[in-house]
A and B are shown apart, each in its own frame.
Chain A
Amino acid sequence: MEKSRKSFGSGLTTKFTPVLSIGDKHIPKTSSTLTVRDILGRWKVRWGIGRRGFRVAPGLYAVGEPDRKSPVLVTANYKMTFDLVRQALAGIDAFILVLDTKGINVWCAAGKGTFGTAELEARITSTGLRDVVGHRELILPQLGAVGVAAHEIYAKTGFAVHYGPVRIDDIKAYIAAGMEKTPAMARVQFKLRDRLAIIPVEITQALPIVIAIAAACSLLSLPFDPAFGVRFFSRVATMLGAVAVGIVLFPPLLPYLPFRAFAAKGAILGLIWSLAAASLFRMSVPISISLALAAIPLTAFLAMQYTGASTYTNINGARIEVTRGIPIILISELLGLMGLIAERILSVRTA
């Protein structure tokens, strides 16, 4: 079914012409080095282009020259994930068992259950893995444990599940140590590079917000008189600045901002930006206050959205942020807009 999809064909940028034959099983061989096309594809999805079609066909693959004793690593069929796995396996002979996670990464797919017990069991059977390898051991990514019950896999298939490191970069050290991981390998991180990786796709997704803000700011700068340009610039720069701060500055600064709630952290950044904008653009106090009331909630909202990209938030806390934060965000936004509209009406009347 999946193979007939057009987007699937275009997303499957890796060609698997060489085949490894073990018994009557013919396993496609994949390389541990990426082609220019693979790297270009990764860059595109980082910017949010064609993410849904960026998949590989589920099934069994060979890296290097694996034999019946070689380790079997289980992963998702999001192509970025698959590419990171095969890259990390450079110099190791292994099998990669790709589950059908609908093009979603391991952790998110495990949360949805597609990287799950049923799919793993079915994929072991459909690939004939029992006839390919002599052993009965599987290495799963640790974050896949959200969706897979190791004891059920053992009971149903006879394969013993080993949860490997969180990050695939540690896989060589893990295998070399006889499938033992250090406490550090088991900890999920949210380092600067992890936090920055999400910025491009957030920028792409913010484009409609940018257009809406530009339209709203031009209305709030009416009428068309010689000072329209100055008014428009100060308003649009303050508001778009608040968006930029929420998308670009919030991720790197996350650990250093006070409060645990993301919306509160974002509001702090939004406040600092609003003060900076007020002095930069030399606006009057009433306009500055109105703009701050409209701009701060934008940063706070974008920061709150970032909970979904983080690696350590829980549902209860996020629910509190939403139920308490959204009303404050909406009221502040409304007050700010009313202030800006009132300022325009008053100045036109007095003129």
Chain B
Amino acid sequence: MELRYFSAGKSLALDTGSCIGCGRCVEVCPHAVFSINDRLAAIEVRDRCMECGACGRNCPTGAITVKSGVGCAFAIINGMVSGKEPSCDCDGPESPRKNRKACC
């Protein structure tokens, strides 16, 4: 059974004009969002995208942009309480709940 979340892949954008068809996005995407059609990348299933950011970071021409972030409710609550960006630094020395979360 394939697990899907909601509000998926909202910030993922692909500019086919600057795509060179290297296939790096297909190689790094953990949810098979991309495919290569006619030697160019295409967003095959946006609904599977978790915005991890691997494709954007590894796109050599900057054709892919994505605003990455952690899909972790605790990180978001953490960010709201501390007034900073959501961070999954639950193991960090500055975290109020250090070493307390299972995520990372």
Contacts and interface: CB of A to CB of B under 8 A. Distances in A.
Most buried by A among B3, B8, B24, B88: B3
Nearest to A104: B104
B54 A145 contact: yes
B58 A151 contact: yes
A146 B57 contact: yes
Interface in A291-327: 304-305, 307-322, 325-326
Interface string A72-91: 00000000000000000000
B57 A52 contact: no
A262 B13 CA distance: 26
A163 B28 contact: yes
Given A148-B57, A311-B30, A108 B103 contact: yes
B24 A51 contact: no
B31 A312 contact: yes
A186 B33 CA distance: 11
Given A143-B30, A315-B86, A307 B4 contact: no
A261 interface: yes
Interface string B24-55: 10111111100000000000000011111110
A183 interface: yes
Contacts of A317: 5-8, 71
B65 interface: no
Given A105-B104, A142-B27, A151-B58, A254 B73 contact: no
Contacts of A128: none
A316 B72 CA distance: 10
Nearest to B69: A315
Nearest to A202: B102
B11 to A, nearest CB: 8
Contacts of B98: 52
A187 B32 CA distance: 7
Contacts of A163: 27-28
A145 B3 CA distance: 22
Contact of B99 (A51, A190, A304, A316): A51
A111 interface: yes
In terms of DSSP, what is the predominant structure of the interface of chain A? Answer: helix
A188 B30 contact: yes
Contact of A310 (B60, B71, B104): B71
A231 to B, nearest CB: 32
B86 A48 contact: no
B37 to A, nearest CB: 15
Contacts of A255: 1, 3
Interface string B84-102: 0010111100000011111
Nearest to B6: A260
Interface in B61-76: 68-76
B8 to A, nearest CB: 6
A104 to B, nearest CB: 6
B36 to A, nearest CB: 12
A186 B73 contact: no
Interface of B: 1, 3-11, 24, 26-32, 48-54, 57-58, 60, 68-77, 80, 86, 88-91, 98-104
Given A142-B30, A313-B72, 19 more contacts: A51-B91, A52-B91, A110-B54, A111-B70, A112-B88, A145-B54, A145-B58, A146-B57, A187-B31, A205-B101, A255-B1, A262-B73, A307-B74, A309-B103, A314-B10, A315-B71, A317-B6, A317-B8, A326-B77
